[in-house]
Amino acid sequence: MSAFENPLEGEALIKEVCRRIRVARSYWDTHNNAACRKERERALALYNTLSKAEKEKIPQVLRVWLRYRSEKYFGDHRTAPGSSRKTGKKGRQRSQRTKHPERR
């Protein structure tokens, strides 16, 4: 039996959204960014199916983390994992001068 055969509704859906947000936050706390990103996307997909009244039943701390704080690090404006980055910064070159030139 697949999890998608009986989609969650009502209190069960709210509970699942809270659980997924908490799991994502625990991955965040352990610096497991790939797992956090994946779990956050799942939580956000479920969160977006909730009505306004159902969204208000999600604890505010979890809502804030999902919508604002995690958006800063995992939002669409961020570089996707696995893609090549172009760094615009050049490495600094050290000065060729030495403090004390050799004495003859």
Domain-by-domain residue ranges, the chain? 10-74
pLDDT tens series, the chain, 104 aa: 445 566 788 899 999 999 999 999 999 999 998 899 899 999 999 999 999 999 999 999 999 998 876 666 666 666 666 666 555 555 555 555 556 666 65
Q: Whats the size of the chain, residue-wise?
A: 104
Confidence (pTM): 0.65
DSSP code at position 64:
H
Q: How far is CA 70 from CA 66, 91, 97, in A?
A: 6, 30, 46
How far apart, in whole angstroms, are the C-alpha atoms of residue 73 and residue 31? Answer: 12
